[in-house]
Amino acid sequence: MNPLFIPSPEHGVWYLGPIPIRAYALCIITGVFAAIWLANRRWVARGGTSGEVADMAIWAVPAGLIGSRIYHVATDHQLYFGPNGHPINALKIWEGGLGIWGAILGGALAAVFWCRHKKINKRAMADAVAPALLLAQAIGRWGNYFNQELFGKPTTLPWGLKIDQAHRPPGFEEYATFHPTFLYESIWNLSVMGIIIWLDQRFKMGFGRVFALYVMGYSLGRGWVESLRIDPVELQDVGGLRFNEWVSIVLFIVGLVYFVWASRTHPGRQPAYRDDREESQLSESVEDS
């Protein structure tokens, strides 16, 4: 074994009396709060009101968690509904198993409905939130480190991640160190976040273009990281690529097409609120008086 490596944590869960404190959950919670903080700052800078991001998160975060779990269970259904599966385990979200694209879809749907109700320009909100999503994902990925899961191929590089024997997949028992894909993706997300924030400040982008950059940037990195992973997948490879690699390719193209279209048809930024919001607030104030 390579004498230089990243050690895996001895514990991924601690107990406060009978209450388990799971590192996986702490990483997700920390990522959520960090994202709300950053998104709120960006939303206020774009003309929004402080606190609205947190209000939206009350709906978007649970919807995102539900969506991420549904995506994971759907793409790895044999783990829960196969011959040796236990369907009840599909509800045990604390044991790991979240699909980021399901989280984005579920959270986005909840956010869209919330923005419509509050008469907020949903694309303006999406642009404010986009870099914050990368921050949440960068922090949340460390949950995989504590769970010793979703690592990459064996490697002898000095930053290889040592995986305990019990967590090595079948066929790789004799290998000790693997690519730390959680670390690769975390660094990638933070780098893309910084680039997107700089581009947004430099070119004053709006109408969903910042969110499109997020989709493109994350898809590119996720496709690369996915190609390194060796964890078994239930959906068969197509054309030598894993299912999530194809998802990344498709979403990168969608993001690119939207970015080009929005750049040509909607230069600049739109206001944070819809025009009918002021009319609605004015009518409410008249009724109250």
Question: 130-165: per-residue pLDDT in tens?
Answer: 999 999 999 999 999 999 999 999 999 999 999 999
Backbone angles phi, psi at 225, to 5 degrees: -65, -40
189 contacts: CB under 8 Å, gap ≥ 6: 134, 135, 137, 138, 141, 218, 221
Q: pLDDT exceeding 90 applies to what percent of the chain? A: 76
- Asked whether residue 5 is assigned to any structural domain, the reply reads no
Backbone angles phi, psi at 217, to 5 degrees: -65, -45
Q: In Å, what is the CA distance from 253 to each residue of 106, 207, 219, 246, 248?
A: 21, 18, 9, 11, 9
Q: In Å, what is the CA distance from 101 to each residue of 16, 233, 247, 264, 288?
A: 33, 16, 9, 27, 44
Structure-block tokens of residue 29: 């919670």
The alpha helices in 12-51, defined as continuous H runs, are: 23-45
Distance in angstroms (rounded) separating the CA atoms of residues 2 and 22: 30
Placement of tokens 């990638």 in the chain: 188
pLDDT band at 189 (very low <50, low <70, confident <90, very high): very high
- Asked whether residue 3 is assigned to any structural domain, the reply reads no
pLDDT, position 94: 72
The amino acid that residue 177 corresponds to is T
Question: What does the H/E/C string look like for 54-65?
Answer: HHHHHHHHHHHH
Helix (H) or strand (E) run with residue 177 in it = strand 177-178
Placement of tokens 């607030």 in the chain: 281
- Asked whether residue 221 is assigned to any structural domain, the reply reads yes
- Asked whether residue 228 is assigned to any structural domain, the reply reads yes
Structure-block tokens of residue 224: 């690369």
Distance in angstroms (rounded) separating the CA atoms of residues 117 and 99: 28
Task: Give the global pTM.
Answer: 0.91
pLDDT band at 281 (very low <50, low <70, confident <90, very high): low
Give residue 157's domain range.
13-288
Average pLDDT on 198-218 reads: 97
* pLDDT, tens only, 30-73: 999 999 999 999 999 999 999 999 999 999 999 999 999 999 88
Average pLDDT on 174-185 reads: 97
- Asked whether residue 235 is assigned to any structural domain, the reply reads yes
Lowest-pLDDT choice from 10-14, 160-164, 198-202, 218-222: 10-14
Q: In Å, what is the CA distance from 4 to each residue of 145, 154, 155, 184, 230?
A: 17, 14, 11, 18, 22
pLDDT, position 192: 99
- Asked whether residue 1 is assigned to any structural domain, the reply reads no
pLDDT, position 98: 84
Number of domains in the chain: 1
4 contacts: CB under 8 Å, gap ≥ 6: 158, 159, 160
Distance in angstroms (rounded) separating the CA atoms of residues 98 and 144: 10
pLDDT, position 283: 47
